[in-house]
Amino acid sequence: MGLATVKLCVHILGGSIWVESIVGKGSTFLLHLPVISIKA
């Protein structure tokens, strides 16, 4: 799945996505999605 598609999906769901990078070590892509509780 392309990164642009992931970014769009996360945005639609009300979350955020970001990257943390260390030179010579690589990059880590992180995302945060809100938890929605539904009353039964």
pTM: 0.69
Average pLDDT by stretches of 10, the chain with 40 residues:
90 96 96 89
pLDDT of residue 22: 97
Contact between residue 32 and residue 11 where contact means Cβ atoms under 8 Å apart? no
pLDDT of residue 38: 84
pLDDT of residue 34: 94
Residue 24: what residue type? G
pLDDT of residue 7: 94
pLDDT of residue 20: 97
